Structure 1
Amino acid sequence: MKFFATVLTSLLGPAMISASSILAHSTLTNALTLRAENECKVEDRMYSNEDISQGTIETWKNDGTHLSRIADGHQWVTIVNLTPYRMVYTGGPNPYQFSVWDFGDIPSGKARKNEATYNTNVGSYTDTNGYANYRLDGTSKTFQVHVTTHIPDSYERRVVFDLGGMGMGWRELGFPGERASVALVITGSEQYGYINSLQLNNVAWMRAMYDVIKDRELRHVVVPGSHDAGMSIISTNSGWNGLGTASTTETQSLDHYNQLRVGTRYFDMRIVSVKGGNFWSAHINEEVTAAPVGATGESLDDLIRGVNRFTTDFPGEVIIWYIRSMVDLDSGKVTNQDDRYWDANKVNSFYTKLNDVNNRCIGLTNAVQLDMQPMKNFMGQNGNRGCVLLLTDGRLRDGLARDRVESGIYHGPTFLHRDDYWAQEQHTQETADKQIARMRSYTRDNGPSSGPTDNYFIMQWQCTPSITDVLFPPASLQIIANQETNPALYHYGFNKMSPESFPTVILHDAVGLFHVSDLSEAGYNPMMQTLVIGLNLYMVSQNCKVSTTKHPLLQAKQAAESSAAAQSTAFKTFSGVIFANGTVLDEAPHAFCRTCTYSNTSSVDHPPLNTSSSYQSRTADLRNLA
């Protein structure tokens, strides 16, 4: 080496060699400086350690909210702050016809369950109004919460979220039930831009944040999960009747395609065959008992059609099917539990059917457990179209094939270290407490997933009511989830999450519902999708052991759009108007009254003259939000 340096010096001269050395040193210094600037730093932490009340968990009520002298006037609005700034409550006009009005500040990384209790002893409810104004501390951004009424209506109690002071939209919602809390979720920053729960954000939300999550391991990306995902219907043509009803066994309302559209990426699939023939989803009490009780739901053919349609419409996502049960149901064979087990031919037939799932995750190994592999390994599959990860964990006899790796079908317990903790509690309160304790037993430290501190943790945020709880309508699994269990997540569960303590999957019933009676696109609930976007963007990014790059909310938005693999990584911002009846305006009409209530939207739900706003009677085609 010294010889070559001597030759170069004699040929080029010491001055030129000195200049080259200075240039090389300068380049290296700049590279090291840039690298340091792009690293996660503990001093960039923004999560507040301020102790905020979890808020109480309310007992479910019937769908709908009427006002009368005998009605319960309690109502709550939960605000979830996934921004770097404190949300400062700046007051508002004196609330009119409320017996309790309790709003307050929300620290960064926290949620507050705010109370707005209607005074039901007044003569007329039509002019009941309360306004809570907020400012994001250190910025010019403001927003308003308006609690009001809409008389008469199935949902007379209303809340309006006005984010016009943040350059975003306005949405009116009818409280889904008495005492039920409605959540507003806001994430983002001045540098990155803001995302909110007024409307579903990009349907392909993983692809939209590719640069944020691509290097994170699968276990460190938070996703919504669907419990008993195939039970959106009670099928009557499967050939099996297990006495299950919609109220006792139907955990979902949206079909598979639409569960994917509202953001769900993990699916608890219970798949059975019926009389040795076709495959169906099912919800049964015990898989290998002689005479199971329950019902069948969507057919496997329909589930496959749904996921294939989605991966065509919205490429780039990572979808997990965790397949359980794998038994046979036959109403004519109810005396011997051995009749439940599949034979080798049935197992082979099932795996062959799964080959119909397009864009499977093929070529993965467990040399590194799947939960410890980076997201880019999955998102980059199939020419950057993402993939569907099929994991099996059925009740198969020893000696039968548990997977077919070459086809992208993997044995779940072998390839994925997961904790699928079931609290087995009848009520939401006990379920929530157990799930939170389990979550907080993990410290996200990037240790081996087989160890005690950092696992693929599935937080089952659904209770297990007794049969008498849900036997007679209107009580049902979904109304308990929609009115009680799911709303509690945004204050009771969220306030126990932190950068070191978060779930991988939030498994729940009634995915994507806001009103259990409304299955239109206009009625889809965007809160869970926005919550997981915010948890990945804001919360997990502060844990430097699992996310090593600079916090995305401290980077300019353009910097997050540099990767060619990301394709359309920017989240789209909705700045229009959404009424409670589902009417959507792309832009607010000229002179639109943001503090008014509308008994009849016909005067404002059409394009105003001389503007480019477009009228939609339902939400926009979600394919435009890819």
Structure 2
Amino acid sequence: MRTFGLLAVLASCAWLLVSGQTDDVCKAQDRTYSTDAVPAGSYQPYDKLNPVVGMLSTKFYVTVVNLTPHRIKLESTHSYQMDVFDFGDVPQGRARQNAVKYRGSWSTKDDAGEAYYRIDGTDKKFALRVKSYSGSDPRRVVFDLSGMGLGQREYVFPGGDTAVSLVITGSNRFGFQASLRHGPGNWMRKMYDVIGDRLVRHLIMPGTHDAGMSKITNKITSIGSEQNTQNQGVNIYDQLRAGSRWFDLRIGSIHPNDNAAKNNGFWVMHVNDELGTLAIGNTGESLDEVISEINRFTSENPGEIVFFTMRYLVGRYELPDRGPIMWNAGVVNDFFSKLRAINNRCLNLDTSTGFQNQKASYFMDQNEGKGCVIMLLNGHLDGGGVPRESPGDGIYDKGRMDINDHWSDKMQAVDMAPDQVRNWRSAARGGASDYGNFMIAQWLVTPDALASTAYSLQNFAIQPTNPSLYWAGVNGMDPEHWPNVLLVDYIGVQQRGQWAWDRLSAEIYTLAVGMNLYMASENCDVNKRRPPLLRRGEVAVEEEEAPWNGIIFANGTTLDNPPPTLHPGRAAMLRNGTVFGNGTVLERSIPNPWL
């Protein structure tokens, strides 16, 4: 199935004939990416991870990411009981971290502020509302995109001095998409006409670090806990639905303490050293669960390219204090037998060309258009007679793809983020000097055992790390510089422990869609056709996909058809003392003129 419906394609062709424009070619003069300066953002300070310190914070941020060819213009703001309410325009291809600082204490209930935006050159408008309530999560943000037909969503700040983010992509011609909720599971197939002719090294996709560690299963006796060892909140199936197409899986076999020859199954692991005498960590999903989840997703969403890099590939005793058990040919063959149960494997791919140098359509068209699940082995298969791959089964050595996998090994986002940005900005995309490798950006921090146990890997991900991707990461990209994989912990998780599908948020999903549709498409060495967001007559979704203009509340409750007057957080009255963006201060209360 192609992205654009037949009627839209016919309309596009008709317009081209009428207008006389028949050269569907990318031109430098069509570029809309802005080099305007945007204010520097702020990383969450380390001490705010302490829940007591974070609870007392009065400073927060609202990040807006613009992956459209239109400037996002701030029309007006007003705020009440705010020391800072600093919002501004968001240029094309850029992100702005807007600052909010409450005047009152943590429990104040009458603070409020609103920012009103329009998409320049269109009739589309939206509003951002910051509001305090009583209860355990008093300070919230509402993204009200009902004026764009994209609904509303209420968020709780995940911690003190941290951010919530809104990502918008698309165009007035193409249609808009925002990060309030996930789009179709097969987002690649929906963009086949955009990305099909691109090389794999010219794609951008989300990835999940320690992907199978979505739970703790205790198949080894060690001290790894949810706090310091679990890296994801949802399983492989939901990670796929949340947009991930690159999976970091670390797999080992488990053996009884008294019988190294007996294999009690293959499990995802996360340990400090898989080859160490003592392995500290734990196990997550079983390989059988991973395979079942892959097959469920690909049956529902054919046509995607999904990479699984598989590390470790050694055995450990149930009490992992005697070093690794290296796999022999028998164990490897048992492992390969398991992998053969994965549907849509791609057998006997052309290995004379690095996979990163094939067109995306080469993989998406495999299995009669059902796409490709590609397994890349990167473990310790070093013994004599041990097979390292089996192309006839669709199992390949990682060396079949030239990969730059840069790990910053930093404990704090303020140190990790510029290191990652420096790495991908060293590699230009397109032209004679095009970077030839496939680049992984490990957008994650590495806290020590004490810090991760005290504050949890989850809090490190959702408070300082993932939110910084949407200002520091985005502003470190341009049409010539970006990584292929944005590898994260706790994909989609916006609130601690809220892992149900209806509680996830779609920032990284929408970022990936926008990076492919907009950012890479403005590079005429990567995208040879006219940028898709500038084409007439084409739409972002197929005709059968119904529009949605509902509301998602902070507790996950969804109203698909809310009353037109329902706008959470909207202030009916602007109170005496309200400050407008131009500095005017109200001396008496008045009805909100923007209602």
**Aligned counterparts, 1:126-525, within 5 A:** 126-152=109-135, 154-236=136-218, 238=219, 240-275=220-255, 276-277=262-263, 278-331=265-318, 334-335=321-322, 337=323, 339-399=324-384, 400-413=386-399, 415-445=400-430, 453-472=435-454, 475-525=455-505
CA distance in 1, matches of 2:353, 2:420: 28
Say which of 102, 105, 110 aligns to 2:94. Answer: 110
- TM-superposition CA deviations, 1:502-541 (whole Å, max 9, x none): 1100001011101122122221111110111111111000
Are the aligned partners of 1:211 and 1:560 in contact in 2 as well (CA < 8 Å)?
no
CA distance in 1, matches of 2:278, 2:335: 23
CA distance in 2, matches of 1:521, 1:560: 24
Are the aligned partners of 1:54 and 1:495 in contact in 2 as well (CA < 8 Å)?
no
**Aligned counterparts, 1:80-95, within 5 A:** 80-92=65-77, 94-95=78-79
CA distance in 2, matches of 1:46, 1:132: 25
The residue number in structure 2 matching 1:576 is 550
User: Does residue 540 in structure 1 map to residue 520 in structure 2?
Assistant: yes
Matched AA of 2:510 = T
The residue number in structure 2 matching 1:71 is 56
Are the aligned partners of 1:248 and 1:467 in contact in 2 as well (CA < 8 Å)?
yes
The residue number in structure 1 matching 2:581 is none
Q: CA deviation at 1:559?
A: 7.0
- TM-superposition CA deviations, 1:226-285 (whole Å, max 9, x none): 00001111112x3x2232111111111101111111111110010101115110000111
The residue number in structure 1 matching 2:27 is 41
CA distance in 2, matches of 1:298, 1:569: 38
Q: CA deviation at 1:331?
A: 4.2
- Matched pairs, number: 547
Are the aligned partners of 1:150 and 1:597 in contact in 2 as well (CA < 8 Å)?
no
CA distance in 2, matches of 1:51, 1:419: 30
CA distance in 2, matches of 1:256, 1:225: 11
Cα 1:308/1:179, change in 2 over 3 Å: same
CA distance in 2, matches of 1:362, 1:196: 37
Q: CA deviation at 1:150?
A: 2.0
Matched AA of 2:269 = A
CA distance in 1, matches of 2:116, 2:239: 34
Are the aligned partners of 2:328 and 2:383 in contact in 1 as well (CA < 8 Å)?
no
Q: CA deviation at 1:290?
A: 2.1
CA distance in 2, matches of 1:333, 1:159: 46
Cα 1:333/1:120, change in 2 over 3 Å: closer
Q: CA deviation at 1:365?
A: 1.4
- TM-superposition CA deviations, 1:26-58 (whole Å, max 9, x none): xxxx99x98962111111111001122341211
CA distance in 1, matches of 2:502, 2:545: 20
Are the aligned partners of 1:201 and 1:572 in contact in 2 as well (CA < 8 Å)?
no
Cα 1:129/1:431, change in 2 over 3 Å: same
CA distance in 1, matches of 2:562, 2:35: 38
Q: SS at 2:232's partner residue?
A: coil
Q: SS at 2:460's partner residue?
A: helix
Report the RMSD for the aligned CA atoms in angstroms.
2.4
CA distance in 2, matches of 1:582, 1:560: 26
Say which of 591, 601, 606 aligns to 2:565. Answer: 591
Matched AA of 2:552 = I
Are the aligned partners of 1:146 and 1:595 in contact in 2 as well (CA < 8 Å)?
yes
The residue number in structure 2 matching 1:618 is none
Q: CA deviation at 1:446?
A: 5.7
CA distance in 1, matches of 2:540, 2:118: 26
Cα 1:396/1:120, change in 2 over 3 Å: same
- TM-superposition CA deviations, 1:72-111 (whole Å, max 9, x none): 210100000111111111113x310111110011110100
Q: SS at 1:225's partner residue?
A: strand
Cα 1:88/1:35, change in 2 over 3 Å: closer
Q: TM-score, normalised by structure 2?
A: 0.87
Q: Specify the structure having the higher radius of gyration (Cα).
A: 1
Are the aligned partners of 2:364 and 2:372 in contact in 1 as well (CA < 8 Å)?
yes
Q: SS at 1:539's partner residue?
A: helix
The residue number in structure 1 matching 2:508 is 528
Q: CA deviation at 1:368?
A: 1.8
Gaps of 5+ in 1: 1-29, 562-567, 599-626
Q: CA deviation at 1:544?
A: 1.2
Cα 1:430/1:595, change in 2 over 3 Å: closer
CA distance in 1, matches of 2:130, 2:236: 34
CA distance in 2, matches of 1:108, 1:345: 56
Are the aligned partners of 1:143 and 1:163 in contact in 2 as well (CA < 8 Å)?
yes
Q: CA deviation at 1:332?
A: 5.4
The residue number in structure 2 matching 1:18 is none
Q: SS at 1:37's partner residue?
A: coil
CA distance in 1, matches of 2:423, 2:143: 34
Are the aligned partners of 1:66 and 1:155 in contact in 2 as well (CA < 8 Å)?
no
Matched AA of 1:206 = M
Cα 1:132/1:63, change in 2 over 3 Å: farther
Q: SS at 2:538's partner residue?
A: helix
The residue number in structure 2 matching 1:620 is none
Q: CA deviation at 1:393?
A: 0.9
Q: CA deviation at 1:157?
A: 0.4
Gaps of 5+ in 2: 1-15, 256-261, 573-595
Stretch moving more, 132-141 or 296-305: 132-141
Cα 1:570/1:55, change in 2 over 3 Å: farther
Stretch moving more, 310-319 or 72-81: 310-319
- TM-superposition CA deviations, 1:462-500 (whole Å, max 9, x none): 01111111223xx11111011110000000111010110
Q: TM-score, normalised by structure 1?
A: 0.83
Q: CA deviation at 1:168?
A: 2.2
Are the aligned partners of 1:209 and 1:569 in contact in 2 as well (CA < 8 Å)?
no
Are the aligned partners of 1:272 and 1:329 in contact in 2 as well (CA < 8 Å)?
yes
Q: SS at 1:113's partner residue?
A: strand
Matched AA of 1:521 = W
Matched AA of 2:562 = A
Cα 1:291/1:365, change in 2 over 3 Å: same
% identical aligned pairs = 39
Q: CA deviation at 1:65?
A: 10
